[in-house]
A = this chain, B = another copy of it.
Amino acid sequence: MTIADLAMPRPAPGCVLLRMEACGICHSDLFIAGMEKPPVLPLVLGHEGIGKVEGLGEDVTSVAVGDRVGVTFLASSCGACEWCRTGRERYCPRQLNSGYTSPGVMAGFVSVPAQCLVRVPKEMSAVEAAPMCCAGWTAYRAVQEAAARPGATIAIFGMGGLGHLAVQFARHAGLRVAAVDVSEAKLALARGVGAEITVMAENAARTLQKEYGGMDAAVVVTGSTAAAGQALRSLKRCGTAVLVGMAHGPAELPIVDTVLKGITIRGSFLGTRQDLGEVLHLAAAGIVRPHVETHPLTDAPALFERLGRGEIAGRAVISF
């Protein structure tokens, strides 16, 4: 992973030229950078960014020069499959993903598809808006997939970029939140943003069962099979676990318990187009606030190393 000088991009048909203002650093960037065969080389990383439109490719009518927009991991979708037709474009089999199969936005200038760009409220700083475009968006949808009623209990596993926002979305929905992590510092951050209960990851399930009677819901935003297993075991009867974090190996699915307790397990990837607008609205209204540290691009390699060691609380964002 290096910082390189690339040619100034020109917007292809359907694309726009963006001058980037900020871009967050995400675990998925690490996941992709670690792949044996990335789909494109050289690959520009970055998929939660805020930029200004500086030029339009052919056929672009949905945005104009001067607009301020957000870029997400969903660069484009086909618009015609059964998932696109039903507001679930995040599962489109022909989607392109920023910083993976479509150009990433951790760069000064980029050309990206216009299709999925979202307008960003003017009053938001780029540094605070950027984490909403992946961490916030994904966490928001995951909390909703838990389908828990106000007053219900929810455990959030992993207090990083997604987790500390998931706590806030859950609180806003009237849920009682238990935060789980391996780091005491991150649990302190969780308490600061509204977690009522904080539990160290080891033995989390046992603690949540014994002291709180189990959870109505659990959301796993860390890519750990151990966390997924703990989440399943932390649920009450009829509870729901939402899996978001990508863990390489499979977890154990305890069939007898799943059947006898009526447990639901659901994967959730990104969010819907409607979610994205709502997330930005909640952040602009100050209802949800990302915990951010800001850095110049030159810090990126060091930030990725810290991210890999689990040393970043909240989100690290590159400011251009």
**B-contacting residues of A (Cβ < 8 Å)?**
59, 62, 80, 82-83, 85-88, 90-91, 93, 144, 149-151, 169, 172-174, 225, 228, 237-238, 243-269, 272-274, 277-278, 281-282
Besides the known contacts A91-B261, A252-B253, 16 further A-B residue pairs in the complex with CB atoms under 8 A apart = A85-B87, A85-B274, A87-B87, A90-B262, A91-B262, A150-B173, A246-B256, A249-B255, A250-B253, A250-B254, A252-B252, A257-B267, A262-B269, A263-B266, A264-B265, A265-B266
Bound CA–CA A264/B263 (angstroms): 11
Q: Are A265 and B246 in contact (CB under 8 A)?
A: no
| A149→B259 CA distance, assembly (Å) | 23
Q: Once the chains are docked, how many angstroms separate the CA of A225 from the CA of B273?
A: 37
Check B251 against A247 for contact (C-beta < 8 Å).
no
Q: How far is the CA of A83 from the CA of B272 in the complex (A)?
A: 12
Q: Is the CB of A228 within 8 A of B246?
A: no
- Cβ-closest chain B residue relative to A265: B265
Q: Which residues of B contact A62 (CB under 8 A)?
A: 80
**B149, B228, B258: the one within 8 Å of A255 (CB):** B228
Across the two chains, which residue of chain B brings its CB closest to A144?
B149
**Could you give 15 example pairs across A and B, Cβ below 8 Å?**
A82-B274, A85-B87, A85-B274, A85-B277, A87-B87, A88-B262, A93-B237, A150-B174, A173-B174, A174-B174, A243-B255, A243-B258, A252-B253, A259-B268, A262-B267
Residues in B neighbouring A238, C-beta threshold 8 A: 83, 88, 91
| Partner among B144, B249, B269, B281 whose Cβ is within 8 Å of the Cβ of A259 | B269
The answer to whether B253 touches A228 (Cβ under 8 A) is yes
**Known contacts A62-B80, A273-B85; A255 and B246 CB within 8 A of each other:** yes
Given contacts A150-B172, A174-B173, A265-B264, contact A237 B91 (CB under 8 A): yes
Q: Determine how close the nearest CB of chain B comes to the CB of A225; give it in whole angstroms.
A: 7
Could you say which of B83, B151, B173, B259 contacts A246, with CB atoms under 8 Å apart?
B259
Query: Which residue in B169, B247, B272 is a CB contact (below 8 Å) of A85?
Result: B272
Q: Considering only CB atoms, which chain B residue lies closest to A61 in the complex?
A: B59
- Across-interface contacts of A86 in B (CB, < 8 A): 87, 272-274
With A150-B173, A228-B255, A253-B250 as given contacts, are A264 and B266 in contact (CB-CB < 8 Å)? Answer: yes
